């Protein structure tokens, strides 16, 4: 999970734990990108507005790395953002994100997005 807001972190972590998954936390997109380079992840929850490197920039860097290294199964990325306009969604999808979830969200909304990748 790449998220700079502590309250949002706690909320998402509660859902992730309830589903029985492990998680790794990155406080901004740059840290998230470096963690991606160091470890294999099954899914990334990506906030959009963060310091250092935002979620769009981080996703573009991840997708560039995957393309350059011919990664067969790119990691799914779920955008989680307070930006709710259609152009925000489109920007996330164009950057290579797979799903889009608007804050504030209900626990079952996040659960449904995660379960799309792990039925």
pLDDT in tens, 24-76: 999 999 999 999 999 999 999 999 999 999 999 999 999 999 999 999 999 99
Instruction: Determine the pLDDT at residue 84.
Output: 77
- Taking the domains of the chain in order of start, what are their residue ranges? 1-7+24-96
**CATH code, 1-7+24-96:** 3.40.50.2300
- Output the CA angle 63-58-111, nearest 5 degrees: 85
The verdict on pTM exceeding 0.85 is yes
Confidence band (pLDDT; 50, 70, 90) for 16? very high
What are the backbone dihedrals phi and psi of residue 117, each rounded to the nearest 5 degrees, phi first? -100, -15
Residues whose CB is less than 8 angstroms from the CB of residue 94 and which lie 6 or more positions away in sequence, other chains included: none
Q: Give 76's DSSP letter.
A: P
């Amino acid at each position: 999970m790449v998220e700079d807001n502590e309250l949002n972190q706690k909320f998402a972590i509660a859902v992730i734990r309830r589903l029985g998954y492990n998680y790794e936390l990155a406080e901004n997109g740059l840290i998230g990108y470096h963690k991606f380079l160091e470890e294999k992840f099954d899914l990334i929850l990506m906030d959009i507005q963060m310091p250092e490197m935002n979620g769009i920039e981080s996703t573009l860097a991840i997708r560039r790395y995957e393309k350059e290294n011919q990664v067969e199964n790119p990691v799914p990325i779920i955008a989680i953002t307070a930006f709710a306009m259609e152009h925000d969604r489109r920007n996330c999808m164009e950057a290579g994100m797979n799903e889009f979830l608007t804050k504030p969200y209900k626990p079952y909304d996040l659960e449904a997005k995660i379960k799309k990748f792990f039925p």
